[in-house]
A = this chain, B = another copy of it.
Amino acid sequence: MESQQLDVNAAAPAPTAAATGRSERAKWLLTCPDPPAPWHELFTSIKDTVLPHAKTKHPRPNRPLLFLQGLFPILKWGRNYKATKFKNDLLAGLTLASLCIPQSIGYANLAKVDPQYGLYTSVVPPLVYAVMGSSREIAIGPVAVVSLLLSAMISKVVDPSADPATYLRTVFTVTFFTGSFQALFGLFRLGFLVDFLSHAALVGFMGGAAIVIGLQQLKGLLGITHFTSKTDAISVLHAVVKAFHQQWSPLNSVLGCSFLIFILITRFIGQRKRKLFWLPAMAPLLSVILSTLIVYLTKADRHGIKIVKHFKGGLNPISVHELTFGGPHVGEAAKIGLICALIALTEAIAVGRSFASIKGYHLDGNKEMVAMGFMNIIGSLTSCYAATGSFSRTAVNYSAGCETVVSNIVMAITVMICLLFFTKLLYYTPLAILASIILSALPGLIDLNEAYNIWKVDKLDFMVCLAAFFGVLFGSVEIGLLVAVVISFGKIIVSSIKPSTEVLGRLPGTELFCNILQYPAATKPSGILITRINSGTICFANASFILERILRSAADENNKQESGKGRLQVLVLDMTNVMNIDTSGIHALEELHQKLIARGIQLALVNPKWQVITKMKAAKFVEKIGAEWVFLSIGDAVDASLALKMTC
């Protein structure tokens, strides 16, 4: 009590003056101007989303050039491009190509299309991105997770082994939808859609997907002919165990595992000695060349080693006529396209942003989406499937010292040359090597460290992470995604429905009122209960819950105080956190006021926000509790309550 009186005296010399100050401050609150109308807010928000730079005016003559430079950043940086930069880009591009060629063939295998389509996807999309994209390090091409997504979801609609032609057409159609969605998201500035997968969900999803992809590689590694088309861990392991008894050919495993060990050793060396970064990057290509030679020389394919065999060379054929928009699967294709678009964007933007922040430049998410969208649309017309930014290859590109996106152009040209002249050489490449190359890229997708960080920081977030992980692993890719998104949004809704309330006390020597549990030093004034509603909104979904909570804490306080000093006289409700209220919320406050009055307790409202005080005035609630019981600060409310107590 002493410290409180001290404060009252410090704030104003006489009690009457204090009262004047209080009512003066309350007047500011009660006579505030009207907040902007909801239409206005909605309009501003849409305008901000669609036309973010409406305010910034450029001098006339530059505008078309600036627009073109915005759409094609190459026009901007291309002017200052120099030979020294090209030397670095050339080296990085060649390193990238050596990793990209075997990976592309492996991912095509994962996507259940012929190997050349993986290589096609490493030609056109990187070239389009080089013209439209703004990231300098990102390596464009097929990636493991998107390849898995495509094959897992399209397989349910069209069987790739029974009808490969229709399957391929569906893949191109899905790629077209993927690109269209991405471009639309970018054009309408819906970048925030990518945020719908929370960080934790993404970590879990990627980890689960990596294990699923790894399990799929058992087919190639063990040389199994008949495999399940399902992706969940149980079906795959069941198929593997079944195959073990029937058709296992151990030669494949020996070959695959030995080269997997070779690749992993080179990576270990590369991590130890930074100068040897090219060793792990070259190892996959080296493995392909070596193993192909071994198979060719020993005729091992006649002894059970599975090989790539058919491999069509030549440049990307046009595939416009392959797109089908009228068939029975078009709705399904659009749905798969939407999911692929979101996953591909999430991965690409995460990759692009993390390297951009290392080099200290900003990446506009919406512009990137437009670039990705056009690269996939044009890809779908030239026999490519959905491409995005690959994490492992981007890291190699960065370590190899790339300066600009020209390294992607170098890579694309190298892959093109390979398609034109060297495809015949890949006839004898064993499938087990492709599996081991994919397997070697997977550990990068499983981020145990980050999962541990999430556990440390937020246990509920970790639940989301686990749910996504197990959803992908034991359900399917879509189930994993769905579970993650539903839990993430469910968390938001649950925290809105069942908000907490806290009891506040005054910190000694200050005018600050804080949670007495968080700050054990805080003291409660007697006869007054100060509660704060920890919710951004009081609405239909939580109004009666909040009402019940406050009434219960008032009853608890009354019981406590009756046995002790005195009766509870004033309930101070701190509305600082409440940004908005709806009609159900106002009804609940009216009920609270009536019930408190019936128990002889006065209700005092503190610091209602702009929208809240305006709605309270409109609903005549301020009149009901009396304008003299609305305060700007808790200190004012407590002083007024103490003054009331003295007069009682």
Contact = CB atoms under 8 A, between A and B. Distances in A.
A518 B611 CA distance: 10
A537 B495 contact: yes
Interface in A496-551: 496-500, 507, 509-512, 514-515, 517-521, 534-537, 539-545
A458 B195 contact: no
Given A515-B610, A577-B577, A577-B579, A541 B493 contact: no
Contacts of A322: none
A356 to B, nearest CB: 11
Contact of A510 (B25, B458, B460, B587): B25
Given A28-B507, A598-B360, A540 B198 contact: yes
Interface stretch (A33-41, A77-85, A224-232): A33-41
Q: Looking at A32, A38, A198, A583, which has the most chain B CB atoms within 10 Å of its CB?
A: A583
B515 A457 contact: no
A648 interface: no
A586 interface: yes
A453 B200 contact: no
A456 B618 contact: yes
Given A25-B510, A492-B541, A199 B584 contact: yes
B520 A33 contact: yes
A565 to B, nearest CB: 22
A521 B497 CA distance: 36
Given A456-B618, A582-B200, A582-B458, A497 B535 contact: no
A283 to B, nearest CB: 33
A576 interface: yes
A540 B456 contact: no
Given A457-B619, A591-B357, A518 B198 contact: no
Q: Looking at A488, A492, A579, A633, which has the most chain B CB atoms within 10 Å of its CB?
A: A492
A488 B540 contact: yes
A541 B587 CA distance: 30
Contact of A37 (B198, B456, B459): B459
Given A493-B492, A493-B493, A583-B200, A577 B536 contact: yes
A4 interface: no
A15 to B, nearest CB: 17
A7 B515 CA distance: 25
A21 B512 CA distance: 13
A489 interface: yes
A162 interface: no
A196 interface: yes
A594 interface: yes
B492 A496 contact: yes
Interface in A175-231: 191-192, 195-201
Contacts of A543: 195
A383 to B, nearest CB: 35
Nearest to A450: B583
A507 B38 contact: no
A264 to B, nearest CB: 30
A608 to B, nearest CB: 10
B518 A610 contact: yes
Interface in A30-81: 32-33, 35, 37-39, 45
Interface residues of A, number: 86
Contacts of A169: none
A632 B506 CA distance: 13
A596 B577 CA distance: 26
Contact of A489 (B456, B493, B535): B493
Contact of A198 (B520, B584, B619): B584
Q: Looking at A453, A461, A540, A591, which has the most chain B CB atoms within 10 Å of its CB?
A: A540
A583 B461 contact: yes
Given A25-B510, A576-B576, A615-B457, A198 B517 contact: no
A557 to B, nearest CB: 14
A454 B583 contact: yes
A580 interface: yes
A127 B400 CA distance: 84
Contacts of A457: 582-583, 586, 615, 618-619
Contacts of A297: none
A531 to B, nearest CB: 14
Nearest to A613: B518
A10 interface: yes
A459 B618 CA distance: 12
A265 B118 CA distance: 82
B594 A357 contact: yes
Contacts of A594: 357
A448 to B, nearest CB: 15
A488 B583 contact: no
A362 to B, nearest CB: 8
Interface in A567-593: 576-577, 579-584, 586-587, 591
9 contacts: A39-B459, A195-B542, A195-B584, A198-B540, A199-B582, A457-B583, A458-B581, A518-B609, A536-B537
Given A197-B540, A457-B618, A577-B577, 19 more contacts: A25-B507, A25-B510, A37-B459, A38-B459, A196-B541, A198-B583, A453-B583, A457-B583, A457-B586, A461-B582, A489-B493, A492-B496, A492-B537, A500-B579, A514-B632, A517-B610, A536-B536, A536-B577, A577-B579
Interface of A: 10, 21, 25, 28-29, 32-33, 35, 37-39, 45, 191-192, 195-201, 357, 360, 365, 453-454, 456-461, 488-489, 491-493, 495-500, 507, 509-512, 514-515, 517-521, 534-537, 539-545, 576-577, 579-584, 586-587, 591, 594, 598, 609-610, 615, 618-619, 632-633
